[in-house]
Structure 1
C-alpha cells in the first residue's frame, strides 16, 4: 500500500514545478499530505501547547465560565462529550477551545465572527495562541498558492477569498481513557468542513485516513511535520478534484489509552461571503459540475455545524 506523502514546502521556492506537481498528486490521491520545512518556530509550538495543557488542567467549573451558550462553540470552551461526528451514535471523547480571527468590530463580518475569549487563569495563553494562529494562517496561504497553480489558476487566486476567513485554531484535549470497552472513539470518522486543515501535533499515534479502497491508513508524522488535509468546502469549490478524505482518531491500545492526547488543528476557512460554486477550471467532460445550487461558505458552515451538534 502506498503511504501518504510528506513534502518539504521550501521546494516551492527552489523546485516549484516539481513540488506543485507532487503536492497536487498527493491531494488528488489522498486529500492529505505532510508538510515539513514550514519554518514555524518549535518554541512557539511548544509554548502554545504548554498553555493549552495548563488550561485543560483547570477545574471544570473554571473552564465552563468560558463556554458561550448558544454560540455553537464558535469561540471559547466546548466541554467533553458534546461534538458528535455526523451519523455517529456517540459523542467524541474530547474537549476543546476555539480561537478565531481578530477583526475590527465594525467589519461587515462582525455579526458572524465574534470576538475571542481569553482565559485569565493562564499567563501567555493569548500571546502564544494567537501567534500560532497567525503562523498557521500564513502557512495555509502558502499551501493554497501551490494548489492554485496545480489546477491552473493564478498563484494568488485564493488570497482575497481567505484574507478575512472565519478560520479557527482548535486546541483539543483527549483525556485518558479509563473505562474498558467503551463504544466511543476520540474522534469519530468524519470529513472536515473548511478549505484546508493544518494539524500541529499528529506525532502522537491515533490519526487514521481512509484510502480510496476503504482501508484505514495510520498517519503518524514526524514531530516537525504539519499534516495538511482538504476540507469539504475546497472539495466542493474544486468539483472534487481535491477530495475531502474521511479520517478519525482512534483510541490507542493498552496502557497508551491511559495517557492524554493533545492536538491543535487550524481550520482555514474562506471569507463568509465566498460562493462555493465549482471553478470552471475544475469542470470537464470527464468531471462535469456536481452542484447545481449555490451556497456561501457561511451558509455551508452553519448547515454542517447543525449536523455535528455544535449549532
Structure 2
C-alpha cells in the first residue's frame, strides 16, 4: 500500500511539474496586443507587439517613407528579438473574410484583390529582396502578397510553415529557397507568382526535398508542390502520391504521370492551362480514356482535360464526386 501511495505521489508530482512547465511556456509566448511599440530606421517604420515577458517581438505592420530595393528586417524591437512577422489572426475581427498584408493592404484572393493596385504603401513596389533575421520563426498568412518587384526569397531557417497566400502575386519572384526546418506549405503560398521556376531546399531538411525543381517529401514518395513557371512536368518515378492541389496556380501545359502513382488526391491536378496528360499504361491504379482519368477499382473520376467544349465521360466511370 505504501509503495502504491509513493508511486501515486511521484506521478502526481511529475504531472503537476509538467503542467506548470507547459503553462510557463504558454505564458512566455503570450503576446501583449494592447500596447504597440514602434521602431524607425532608414526611412522605415515598424509597428510591433512584444510578449508579456518582453523577450520577443512581432512586427505586424511596416510603413515606408521612401523607395527601397532591399528590406532588411531588424533583429530586435525594443531589445526583444524578432520572432514573428505579419498581420496575425488575433488582430482580425470575428469572422473576417479578408487578410491584411504587412504594408496594410486588404487582401481578398477570392475577389482577385492582392494589394497590387493599393496605394496604402506604394513604396513597397520597388522592394526586390527581403532579408529576415534567423530569429524569425513565424510568418503570417498573406504577409507579403502583392510585392510585384520581389525577385528572390530565402526563408529564415527557424520558419516551419509557409501559410496561405504568404507570397502570392509576387509577379517577378523567380527563386525560392525554403528553410531547413520547414514542415508544411500551403498550396496557395505562391499563387499567381508565375515566374517561380524552381524550388530549393537544404539537404538538412528532414521533411522535404527538391527533385527536378519540384517540392516533394523527403522520401520522394509524395509530390507536394510544382513551381508555377514549369511548363512541362514529368513526375518522378519515385512518386506514389500526388498531394491535393499540387498544381494550384501552375502554368503547366503538360503532365506525365508514371506507373508508380497509386494515389491522386482531391484537386491534385487542377490547373487551367493543361492540355495534355500522359498516364503510363502500366499504372495499376488509374486508367485514362477520352481525356478522363479514373480509378480502376471503383470508377472514381479523378480528372478531366477539357480541351474543347465537349467532354465524353467513359462508361467505366461510376463516381463523380464534388472534387
Q: State the TM bucket, normalised to the shorter chain.
A: under 0.3
TM-score (normalised: structure 1): 0.26
Based on CA coordinates, which of the two structures has the bigger radius of gyration? 2
Higher relative contact order (CA 8 A, sep 6+): 1
Output the TM-score relative to the length of structure 2.
Answer: 0.25
Structure with higher helix content: 1
